[in-house]
Amino acid sequence: MKIFNRVTAGLAVSVGFGAVALLSLSVVQGQDATQAPPTPTPAHWEYEGADGPDHWGSLDPNYAVCGTGHAQSPINITSDAAQAINLHDIKFDYHPSKLNIFNNGHTVQVTYDAGSSITYNEIKYDLLQFHFHHPSEHTIDGKAFDMELHFVHRAANGDLAVVGVLLNVGETDNPDFAPIFDALPKDKGTPEPTDTSVDAAKLLPPVHLFDTYVGSLTTPPCSEGVRWLLLTTPVDVSEKQIEEFASIFELDARPVQPLNDRDLLQDEQEG
């Protein structure tokens, strides 16, 4: 029998990993009192320099947990810290989607059509989108991989679960990733459907063993309470495919964060 204790936490986050501000209605001169004032624009952030990860927590009050949180992501996963246990399998129910691809200014993201999901620990999470980081954000025993793919899911109660896939340089182009890497948008824009489709199921490794812990978004506002499910078997893509992404985003990975007192569990048996 597979065992696991569910950890839950409240989380306020939008589909695109942006901050959500809950604004009360107020009377503004010359404005209908039934209309909410415009949502403040989130502070600009980057992966380097004065607006980089070391400063995210001070850029905007909504980003404060980036600097003060104790359950942040990504992390370095070590065999010493991970507790091997027979966990519930991740049940993938992915179906093809139109390739709704766009450059959001920090990564290339694909907004996924409705109808795909995972079930973990008897909770169903709907697949919202996936996106990439270069190099990988999580590390294994201090080793970074060439890229990392994040599948972002949301449960009915708003809780998030992210499935991470580590990407390595292989000898040939990966045909299942080709529709994505062939359509990488160089300029920032908004999601638009294309005539191409993509199948998230084919982007996963054949073995679904994983490490899991409760962490955070890896971009501002760094909201905590995210269930991370990092698949431990990497997937190969070609050096050319990685270079195509790196030509747009040379660096879009947050450095690893302290594990602190969190449980880090490692699935030791699939099925």
Structure tokens at 252: 């879009």
Average pLDDT over residues 260-266: 97
Measured CA to CA in angstroms, residue 225 lies from 65, 120, 239, 262 at distances of 12, 15, 34, 12
3-state secondary structure 18-57: CCCCCCCCCCCCCCCCCCCCCCCCCCCCCCCHHHCHHHHH
Say what the pLDDT of residue 191 is: 87
Measured CA to CA in angstroms, residue 59 lies from 55, 56, 195, 235 at distances of 7, 5, 39, 35
- pTM of this structure: 0.86
Helices (H), the chain: 56-59, 65-68, 178-181, 239-246
Mean per-residue pLDDT of the chain: 88
Residues sharing a CB contact under 8 Å with residue 103, sequence separation 6 or more, in sequence order: 109, 184, 185, 186, 187, 188, 189, 248
DSSP 175: T
15 pLDDT above the threshold of 90: no
Say what the pLDDT of residue 271 is: 66
At which residue do the structure tokens 């065999």 appear? 79
Reported as a single tens digit per residue, the pLDDT across 154-164 is 999 999 999 99
Asked if 213 and 264 count as a contact pair (C-beta separation under 8 A), the reply is yes
- CATH architecture, domain defined by 70-267: Roll (3.10)
Extents of the domains making up the chain: 70-267
pLDDT confidence bin for 37, thresholds 50/70/90: low
Reported as a single tens digit per residue, the pLDDT across 168-192 is 999 999 999 999 999 999 999 998 8
Q: How far apart are the first and last CA of the chain?
A: 10
